[in-house]
Structure formats: C-alpha cells, structure tokens
Structure 1
Amino acid sequence: MTHTPINGGVCAPQGFRAAGIHCGIRKNKNKRDLALIVSDCAAATAAVYTRNKVQGAPLALTRRHLADGFSRAVLCNSGNANTCNPDGLQIAEQCCELAARALGVLPEEIVIASTGVIGQPLPLAPFEQGIPAAVSVLSADGGADAAEAVMTTDTRPKSHALAFDLDGTPCRIGIITKGSGMINPNMATMLTFITTDAAITPALLQRALSATVDDTLNQINIDGDTSTNDMAVIQANGMAGNAEINDENSAAYAAFCAALHAACVWACREIAADGEGATKLLECTVQGAPDARSARAVAKSIISSDLLKAAMFGEDANWGRVLCAIGYTEGDFAADKVSLTLASDKGSVKVCENSAYFPFSEDEAAEVLSAAEIRINVDLHDGTASAQAWGCDLSYDYVKINGDYRS
C-alpha cells in the first residue's frame, strides 16, 4: 500500500476547512488558542477518550453529541482544560451553541475539546468573540493555523497528510496532534484530530480508530501521566467518492486501516520526539512475542521505564534496565531468551543475547546512543507477534518545565 505525504494537514482531504486564532484564553496574544475544523457535509465520526476517572467536561459532551455517529465540526481551545470546573459542562454547551449558530448547524453536530491547565475558571467571553472570528477565516489553507492553536508546551505544531487509494479512488487523510507532557495514553493521546474524505460507515470507522489506537497512540509514553482530556477524533465525510466501506473483511477496509495506521505512527513519533525536555526520540520494537497483547505490553513497559529514559539521556548503554522492564511486564511470555540491539543512524550494537551479557564496545555503544533517534530492538524468541512503542529520554529540563507549568 502506497501512502504519499502531501501538504494541507486536516484540510488536505476534500471538503474540510480549518482556522486557528488567538481569542484571549491565553495571556500571550502571539499564541493561537482556538482551533476550528469544519466539514462541508455531515461526516461519519468516531472517537476514543481517556480512561482517567477525572475527565474534562468537553469529553462528556462530545460523547453525547457523537451518539448518532456523525458531526460537522471540531472546536478546540488550548490554555485551559475545562476540567474540574463547577460550570464546565455549561461552558462547553454554550461554546457548541455559539459554534453552531455561526456555522448554521446544530449544536449536537459539534465535537468539542480543550487542553491546558486543570481546575482554572474558563470564561465564556473569549469564545463569544473568538468563535465568530474563527468562522470568518475558515479556509482550505487553515490546517497549519489549527495545528498551532491546539499546542500547549509543544515546541512545534504537528500537522501531516497522506494520499492513498481505495479500490482505485484517490483518497486523503489529514491529521493534527498535540502533546508534549502528561502523556501516558490510555485509549487516546493528548489530542489528535483526523480528517478523511473516504466514505466509511460510522461503525467501521469506530472499529478502525479503536484498533489503530491500541497499536499506535496508546503506545506512547512521555512521563507516565494519563491526561484528563485525552481524545482522538476522526471525521470521514465521503467526498472522495469511493464506494462506502461497510465490510470489515474487504480490501478497502484493510487499505483504509493501513492509511490510518500510517498517519497515527507519524503522530506517535512527532509527540515522542517533542516530549517535554526531550533530546532523543526512542522507538522500541519487540518481536518474537507469543501474541500481540504481550508484544505491546513489553514495548510499552520498556519505553516507560524512567531508569531507561535517564540512561538514554546520558547515552549510557545500561541494557539491564531493558531486561528489568521486560521482567516486570504482566503477561504469559518467556523472558530467558531475550536478545537486545541498540541502533541509530550511527550504527547498531548488540548488547544482550539469551537474556545475558553479549560482549560489546562501550565506546561504540556511546556513539550509537549519541544520535537524536534511538531504536531499541528486542526479540523475545517466544512466538511471532510484534509491536512498537515510542517515547523520549528524561532530561533535566523536564523538571524545569513542570516546576512552573502554570506560570
């Protein structure tokens, strides 16, 4: 399956427009803080949400609005999570009403999301001015502005798009995502918004998103914290004109899932590489597992180890920390035949064989680990299943960033 990178982000698929503006939620007027993504027609829509027991009001409202499987627009603010607010649900409802009025749609057709500080009052006034302003500048070129508007501690906007074919029909998928800290996804990543002009039923869209999230977005770890506002949403408006995908056993469904997977892997790498204070992207690949669940668990366990993350920051090939993480991972798999190789664009070095020391050069290993992207390749030699996970190193700057996050 060929997936060709293209420009445009969430506006690359036909029939989508977007905007990103500063509406006054953030004190810094140079930072955009309100994003809007709109489909020209009703779009099949699916979402996954955080499993944190404390959840932002926008998640509850979005669940309600997506009960019929369709939406017209996504509204997202940054700078305030609208979580643990006594009037949070009311504010979210009023925002949807404002957006619906400005767009000429129903409030129930609006997906709403928020990201930022938890437990801070969120006034309605910025939305009263900002939503009409955002609608007025909606554009097929607005994807980049929307990507910027959802950022919090991200150092750069994250926007991407791919072209692919479904049974000979050209289709497109676009994605923007945000996330830098408070990331240990459990059903979704911090915030990810995906658009596609492919036609697919809401039920299969939900199936595709949920399965893809398990293999991709849920396999990221920056700092072990699961956000209260995690959400991933995909809209499919069908404007590419392909025959609607309604059979999970069809080649078209497989092709669609492959494109969605590619887009989400891109998002995983971008989020992990931009982790708070990060100097290195870590990608862990586990093979030889007895089943996919075990492979995912082992990869996630390795990438989540603070000891390993600190060692990667120090460019120290302390491979015992990988074996330790494998050993405390829950699951029915053998851990006595593990082989481990560390790799980067500066070479590769095997450091472990049969769960024991494999002679290697410390100088060579340090050179491999000096790169900006490190690949941790593990073979359990206990089956045929494989999985990946993504993370970053743990640097001094992570503490500095989170020591004064609210200021």
Structure 2
Amino acid sequence: MPVNLKAPIAQDLAPVAGIRIGVTEAGVRKANRKDVTVFLLDEGSHVAGVFTKNRFCAAPVQICREHLASHSQSIRAIVINTGNANAGTGADGLARAHATCDALAGLLKIDAQQVLPFSTGVIMEPLPVDRITAGLPAAIADAQPGHWAKAAEGIMTTDTLPKAFSASATVGGKTVQITGISKGAGMIRPNMATMLSFLGTDAAISPELMPALAKTLADQSFNRITIDGDTSTNDSFVVVATNQAGNAPISDWNTTDGQALMAALREVAQKLAQAIVRDGEGATKFIQIEVEQGRTEEECRLVAYAIAHSPLVKTAFFASDPNLGRILAAVGYAGIEDLDQTQIELYLDDVHVATQGGRNPAYQEADGQRVMKQQEIVVRVQLGRGNASTQLWTCDLSHDYVSINADYRS
C-alpha cells in the first residue's frame, strides 16, 4: 500500500488554459487499460525538459532531445504510451518512435518535429506502433482541459495509484494555475528515475528561461528521490508554459512575481516526486534523509545517497529494526576521504542516536524502535565540516519489491 498517498480527485486538479488531454485504450501490452495519452498544446506554448543520463537512453528520449533543440517554442503535442519502453531497440526503435510522431502530426496537421514522444514499460521489445497510431484518433477525440486525473492513470505502469497535484499563485495580479502528473514506482534513482512527469502552467514565462527552469525544478524534486538505485533508460520531466494567464512574462526569477511562481512550481514538482517514493514498489515507509554541516552540497549528497541505497539500511527500516550502526557505516563509505568520524552526529526524528561518532550514552533502543515503526521517518546526519546541506526522499526495501520485479513481465 502507498505510504500516506491517495488517488487524486479530478475536481481538485485545476485545468491549465492552453492544454487539452486525451486518453485511450490501445492495447499496447494489455487489454482494458488506459495506455495512450496525448497532450494538445495551444500555439504560443513554450516547452522544456530534462532527461535520463543513462547512456542507453530510449528512442523517444533521443527524439525528444532533437525536437526540443529545434522547436522548443513551437511544440504542439505530446504522446505517451505505457506498456513498452522502446528502449534497447536500436534503429528500429527510432523508426517506430518517428512513425508515432508522424501519425499524430498528420492527424493534427502540424510538423512531426512539433511532437514529443514518450514511452514507458518493458525494455528491449519492439514498440507496437500500429496499435498506438490506431488509438490516436480516439485519444484526440477525448481531449479535454480537465483530463489531468485520467492522464495520471494513463501513464501508470507498476504504480498502484495515479499521481497528480495542482497549485496556484498570484503573479502580476493574475491567478496562475499549475498542474502536474507523474508516474514511477521502481528503477528509481536520480538522474532521474523510471519516471515520467509533465507539469503545465498557464503563466507567461520568457522562453529563454524555460530550459534552466526545468533543470532547477528537477534538481529540487525528482533528482532528490531514490527507491532502488537503478537509473532508467526513459526518465523524462517536461515543463509546459502556455502563456495564457495574462501576466507580464516572467523574465527574472529574482523578483516578487518570479519567486511566487517558482515556489508554486516547486511545490507541485516536489509533491509529484515524493508521491513516487510513497508509491515505491513494496514500500511501507517514507524516509526523508537530511545531511547537514557538510563542506559542499555534493558531499552531503554522497552521504545521503549512501544511506538511501544501502540494502542493509533499507531492510532494517522495513523490519523496524533499530540496527542504526548500518547508517553510520554508510556514512563512512560514502566517499569523503578526510571525514572525521568523531564529528558525526546522528538523529532519528527527535532521537539523538550517535554523538561524536559513537553511541549517544542517553540513547535507548526502545526510542529508536518507536521511531522505526512509524510510516514516515526523518534521518538526520551532521558531518561537522561546514554549512552545506541537502535532503532527499527514499523508502524501505520489502519482500514485495522482489516479488513485483521478479514477476514484472508475467
């Protein structure tokens, strides 16, 4: 069961002017499930994205990068299929992804380079492009501004719940709407995860700010989550600004309006990212890891990920076993060569576990176990080296994680 996560209510998700969404069942891999989604973007929308750093990236990722490089200010459509990742498919995979773009472009009477394709699912299987293209007319006919909840369901794979959130902000006296969806539950590790996320806003934003905006939001959200340490072939995060809210275009984030909009965008992105962890495959606990007093943010990240990726730490959390020396061991092998263990402080929520690199004399195992039994836990490590800090979100590692991934293709 997801950790303190509920399915979105369609009425709670704000439509974004300039975006219409349609979803259909095309039978990509299984019958009777929503598996093809289209986003139709009004002319004048600006689009940016960030993608996996996996060198074995999927065909749609390669095409998205190309299309954004040449048409970021004229993207008019997004098409997403589940059930098949179109990764590890070579030249044939590229041809099939291009064929999907061609088919949607033909129906919409736009250029194929104005279409961004996305795929998620099983790797190294041919994309059933005929089924996808056959489903496109129904997806287009279904397109409505209020279909964000349907889209969140339509992009799911091993997710147990759809993930979608909205926020609003006042920018230049205008109310700006922000809504986003995400999917992902396993093969999750930044840069980014087996995740897709699409965030739309009707705010007017100068196009030159869009690429850095997508990267900033990803770094503050999706690049702070991990479930199992695996980096997928298909990770994608896309930001769309339709420029229809009527505000003066944001050209500088260091203004009152810029900061208000950025805060609302970050809120939605972080909720979407955290929802992926809360719905992690087999997860029973949501864990926030905070590393403080580092010399640099990078060394804080090294420590945080060492803790978050340790199978011994993650299984201890699953068992509610306060075997917390495992956390100290992870801190020690994180890769900080001149780390002074006598400066390390470790906290589990409000419980001071270790001080000056050793067990806190006041620590009682019953207190540690009390926290370990909670569904949500904060692990805080102080390195005693400086003023830098970071945080990330992860989950425990359960029997169900193994079962889900062992049975993924059956």
Distance 2:246 2:339 in 1: 46
Matched, 1:38 2:40: yes
Following superposition of structure 1 onto structure 2, how do residues 171-320 of structure 1 map, counting pairs within 5 Å? 171-187=176-192, 190-320=195-325
2:162 counterpart residue number: 157
> Would the aligned equivalents of 1:20 and 1:147 in 2 still touch at CA under 8 Å?
no
Displacement after TM superposition at 1:260 (Å): 2.3
With over 3 angstroms needed to count, the CA separation of the structure-2 counterparts of 1:73 and 1:8, relative to structure 1, is: farther
Displacement after TM superposition at 1:187 (Å): 4.7
Following superposition of structure 1 onto structure 2, how do residues 5-404 of structure 1 map, counting pairs within 5 Å? 12-29=15-32, 31-67=33-69, 68-70=71-73, 71-86=75-90, 87-187=92-192, 190-331=195-336, 334-343=340-349, 348-358=350-360, 359-404=362-407
Amino acid in the other structure paired with 2:23: G
* Runs (4+) off by over 4 Å: 5-11, 331-335
Distance 1:128 1:400 in 2: 33
Q: CA RMSD in A?
A: 2.0
Amino acid in the other structure paired with 2:64: T
> Would the aligned equivalents of 1:32 and 1:149 in 2 still touch at CA under 8 Å?
yes
> Would the aligned equivalents of 1:290 and 1:333 in 2 still touch at CA under 8 Å?
no
> Would the aligned equivalents of 1:219 and 1:300 in 2 still touch at CA under 8 Å?
no
Partner-residue secondary structure (3-state), 2:54 = coil
Deviations 1:350-371 (A, max 9, x none): 2112221113222232222112
Amino acid in the other structure paired with 1:354: Q
Partner-residue secondary structure (3-state), 1:336 = helix
Partner-residue secondary structure (3-state), 1:90 = helix
Partner-residue secondary structure (3-state), 1:26 = coil
Q: TM-score, normalised by structure 1?
A: 0.92
> Would the aligned equivalents of 1:280 and 1:374 in 2 still touch at CA under 8 Å?
yes
Partner-residue secondary structure (3-state), 2:270 = helix
Displacement after TM superposition at 1:118 (Å): 0.4
For structure 1, which runs of at least 5 residues remain unmatched after alignment?
Answer: none
Displacement after TM superposition at 1:275 (Å): 0.8
> Would the aligned equivalents of 1:186 and 1:218 in 2 still touch at CA under 8 Å?
yes
Amino acid in the other structure paired with 2:407: D
Displacement after TM superposition at 1:224 (Å): 1.1
Displacement after TM superposition at 1:163 (Å): 0.7
Displacement after TM superposition at 1:7 (Å): 6.1
Between Structure 1 and Structure 2, how many residues are aligned?
398
With over 3 angstroms needed to count, the CA separation of the structure-2 counterparts of 1:108 and 1:333, relative to structure 1, is: farther
**Greater Cα offset, 39-48 or 272-281:** 39-48
With over 3 angstroms needed to count, the CA separation of the structure-2 counterparts of 1:194 and 1:129, relative to structure 1, is: same
With over 3 angstroms needed to count, the CA separation of the structure-2 counterparts of 1:368 and 1:162, relative to structure 1, is: same
Distance 2:275 2:219 in 1: 17
Amino acid in the other structure paired with 1:402: N
Identity of aligned residues (%): 40
Distance 2:50 2:218 in 1: 8
Distance 1:386 1:295 in 2: 6
Distance 2:102 2:138 in 1: 15
Distance 1:322 1:237 in 2: 45
Distance 1:83 1:15 in 2: 31
Deviations 1:280-334 (A, max 9, x none): 1111122222232223332222222211111100101222222222222235765
Partner-residue secondary structure (3-state), 2:305 = helix
> Would the aligned equivalents of 1:8 and 1:174 in 2 still touch at CA under 8 Å?
no
**Greater Cα offset, 38-47 or 54-63:** 38-47
With over 3 angstroms needed to count, the CA separation of the structure-2 counterparts of 1:257 and 1:294, relative to structure 1, is: farther
Amino acid in the other structure paired with 1:370: K
Q: TM-score, normalised by structure 2?
A: 0.91
